[in-house]
Chains A and B, each alone.
Chain A
């Protein structure tokens, strides 16, 4: 007996039909109405809280620098600035790819969204690899987390940030899993995108303070 494997697209989703959003063939939607909170509103409490915690660390970093500017300068000059600036460009590229992925997700362009999320994951891997290379360089140069205050700030701030990158990579992987099933939980993917952009913006400040301002 021949079994027809064709899935009717006009059935509702709960009867096995294709999700309504998947039927759209990359047709642009009207822009979201003004006043839309990306992701869950509760997520923003965490995002702004996390940003403020990092902000407090930044204030303490520059406050402590005022006491021993020479020590901060000498230690900061041991960092690999070119790795810092490359990592900044890599994270900015990843943010752009996440914007592209979210846009494609909202249009129902699953393939395009998958490619963009995969490319963003690749950026995360490049960032982490370059960070490890820099850690090895700093440690081989005789500077560890307890060498002086600058080194403590450097390892704590970049280490916690790297942890955020890894969590973000995990969330991007979860997004990728949703895309394989043509999922359409826009709140979740918006939350993932917001989190990833927070990782990017925190690095922008970390790079400026640790690699440039403290070394000048």
Chain B
């Protein structure tokens, strides 16, 4: 690992890039397939998983007071649920 960059941050960054690839695969050209609509809808929770990782790890919410952790996690879960249900 390159000097001076926390290993944990590098692993999270790699995960975020991987999740971007997964979102891309889920969100493109599934319309004609059986269950394609559900696959596209799955792109939304995957995107919000990325948001959760960015918040918890990069924005350091993970080590913040409990109130901030709960409010941030609630934002992610509520909007991910609402948007997924609206699409389906």
Chain A: residues with CB nearer than 8 A to chain B? 26, 31-32, 34-38, 44, 48, 51-52, 55, 58-59, 62-63, 65-66, 81, 85, 88-89, 92-93, 95-96, 98-100, 103-104, 107, 109, 112, 190, 193-194, 197-198, 200-201, 204-205, 207-209, 211-213, 215-216
A48 touches B72 (CB 8 A): yes
Main SS class of interface, A? helix
Chain B: residues with CB nearer than 8 A to chain A? 4-6, 9-10, 13, 16-17, 20, 23-24, 26-31, 36-37, 40-41, 43-44, 46-48, 50-51, 54-55, 58-61, 63-66, 68, 71-72, 75, 79, 82-83, 86-87
CA distance A81 to B43 in the complex (A): 15
With A55-B79, A205-B47, A213-B44: A197-B58 Cβ-Cβ less than 8 Å: yes
Q: Could you tell me the distance in whole angstroms from the C-beta of B71 to the nearest C-beta in chain A?
A: 6
CB contacts (< 8 Å) of B31 on chain A: these are 216
Q: Which residue of A lies closest to B13 (CB)?
A: A96
CB contacts (< 8 Å) of A37 on chain B: these are 64-65, 68
Main SS class of interface, B? helix
Extra pairs beyond A35-B66, A212-B40, A216-B36 (19, CB < 8 Å)? A26-B4, A36-B63, A37-B64, A48-B75, A55-B75, A58-B83, A59-B86, A66-B86, A88-B20, A92-B20, A197-B55, A204-B54, A205-B47, A205-B51, A205-B79, A207-B47, A208-B43, A213-B41, A213-B44
Q: Which residue of B lies closest to A204 (CB)?
A: B50
B28 touches A81 (CB 8 A): yes
B59 touches A194 (CB 8 A): yes
